[in-house]
């Protein structure tokens, strides 16, 4: 993995010098039952150098509790490994969704990371990792809550809504929770 990380640092240093020092890599055991893949690190993730801490960590805790899993037994990562930011009129820095170019830049490395981690199953959070790993123009609305076998990672992929999207759409909370329970059932089978 250190060699793989070095290759990504070199790639990012080439296109965005300086950014290679703020990469947030995935964490967790090799050959886990589940590899969870999010979008990109946020502020806390970038500050702490770990995925899914801060507010997103709370969402993750909720997921783990529902699924009956411990953080230590799964591998957690993101498609884009740095925090995408924008600067507002007042100079305030905030998160923005990764661009198509950023997703394309990081996706080949993600595939190699998945290969290295070798999880039994992948769960994607939201549209960004789903689109990075499937060819079809499918959206999370169509694909959530079921196993997608035909995907670029060559292993079963289960699509979930991104927990952050539930804040803005309360009706999705039930859908998300049912999907997580189904995923937990599949992992136990
Ligand atoms: N934090 C992460 O690490 N990933 C996300 O997708 C959102 C917040």
Between the CA of 104 and the centroid of ligand 1 the distance, in Å, is 18
pTM passes above 0.75:
yes
How many domains is the chain built from?
Answer: 1
Task: Say if residue 9 is exposed, middle or buried (CB neighbours under 10 Å; 0-12, 13-18, 19+).
Answer: middle
Q: Where are the beta strands (DSSP E) in the chain?
A: 34-38, 75-78, 85-87, 93-95, 121-125, 147-148, 157-160
Strands 85-87 and 157-160: unpaired
Ligand 1: which atom is nearest the Cα of residue 44? 1
pLDDT at residue number 166: 84
pLDDT at residue number 164: 86
pLDDT at residue number 136: 67
Q: Which residues line ligand 1 (CB under 6 A)?
A: 38-42, 45, 51-52, 56, 78, 125
pLDDT in tens, 122-134: 999 999 999 999 9
Q: What is the DSSP string of 141-178?
A: HHHTTSEE-SSTTSS-EEEE--GGGGTT-TTHHHHHHH
Q: Which residue range forms the structural domain that includes residue 165?
A: 2-188
CATH code of the domain containing 56: 3.40.470.10
Ligand 1: which atom is nearest the Cα of residue 24? 3
Q: Which of 42, 49, 81 to mutate to test the pocket of ligand 1 (most atoms within 8 A of CB)?
A: 42
pLDDT at residue number 137: 79
Residues of the chain with pLDDT under 50: none
């Amino acid at each position: 993995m250190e060699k793989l990380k070095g290759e990504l640092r070199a790639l990012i240093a080439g296109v965005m010098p300086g950014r290679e020092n703020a990469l947030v890599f995935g964490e967790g055991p090799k050959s886990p039952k589940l590899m969870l893949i999010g979008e990109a690190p946020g502020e806390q993730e970038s500050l702490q150098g770990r995925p899914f801490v801060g507010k997103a960590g709370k969402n993750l805790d909720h997921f783990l509790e529902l699924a009956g899993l411990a953080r230590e037994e799964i591998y957690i990562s993101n498609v884009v490994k740095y925090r995408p930011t924008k600067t507002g009129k007042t100079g305030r820095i905030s998160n923005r969704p990764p661009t198509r170019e950023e997703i394309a830049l990081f996706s080949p490395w993600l595939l190699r990371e998945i290969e290295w981690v070798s999880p039994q199953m992948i769960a994607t959070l939201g549209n960004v990792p789903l689109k990075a790993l499937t060819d079809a123009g499918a959206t999370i609305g169509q694909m959530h809550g079921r196993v997608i076998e035909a995907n670029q990672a060559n292993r079963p992929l289960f699509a979930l809504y991104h927990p952050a999207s539930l804040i803005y759409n309360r009706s999705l909370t039930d859908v998300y929770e049912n999907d997580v329970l189904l995923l937990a059932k599949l992992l136990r089978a």
